[in-house]
Amino acid sequence: MAVNLAEPSVSSSLAARDVLALKRVFETIHSRSCPTSFNFHMHTVCSDGRLQPESLIQQAIAIGLKGLAITDHHTTDGYQQAQRWLNEYQNTASEQTPLSLPHLWTGIEVTSELLDTEVHILGYAFDPSHSLMRPYLQHHAPQRADALAECVVTSIHGAGGVAVLAHPVRYRRSPEELIPAAVQIGIDGVETYYAYDNPNPWRTSSRQTEQVKHLSTTHNVLNTCGTDTHGLSLLQRL
């Protein structure tokens, strides 16, 4: 195999640091991280949510989020719009106004198949322009081989990103079956902190969290959190 000894570009170096920063956040995530410090699962009108991307990022700032990812299904349109708004806001803000803006990572939610079961893979901090991501940015679920969870995870990694198994207790098969299978194909983490019964106010489901946290520790993978917002509030799922 040929080894590329060329000096990495500035953009690739920045992307690598972006991934490392995200992994450091995932390593410190706990039950109280979401929804007011970090949120790595939310949807906009670009897929099946009700929030406009600009409204979402405005709400994130108002809540005081430190970091987030918009994980629309099979598109990064919402991320692109939110990032443009965030850049403009930062550029036009008064120099006298102290800014504490959240970090917005690229994100996506992909419908895939694992152990003959439909599961959702969350991708983070990947390059959305990478050719490997093309099958997953078509505004619809991938087909045939592209839908295999192994292909999804491999593509996210190839585009420089991090792959996470979403809400592991929501599927036909148990997390005790799915998480080891996901680890075998290279998954980086699991969505450990999740509100399965849509409580108000939002709180992670204790029984399922304990179940998934035990498995993530056993298999040495990262933990993430997210509200899976589809409605108008980032503090709720629906």
What's the pLDDT score for residue 19?
96
- Output the pTM of the full model: 0.93
Neighbour count for residue 231 (Cβ, 10 Å): 16
Domain residue limits, the chain: 25-91+109-225
Rounded to whole angstroms, how far apart are CA atoms 152 and 175? 19
14: pLDDT confidence band, cut at 50, 70 and 90?
Answer: low
CATH code given to domain 25-91+109-225: 3.20.20.140
Where residue 129 falls (left for φ over 0; alpha for ψ -120 to 50; beta otherwise) is alpha
Predicted confidence (pLDDT) per residue in 198-210, tens digit: 999 999 999 999 9
What's the pLDDT score for residue 99?
66
222: pLDDT confidence band, cut at 50, 70 and 90?
Answer: very high
- Contact (Cβ atoms closer than 8 angstroms) between residue 104 and residue 68: yes
- Contact (Cβ atoms closer than 8 angstroms) between residue 52 and residue 233: no
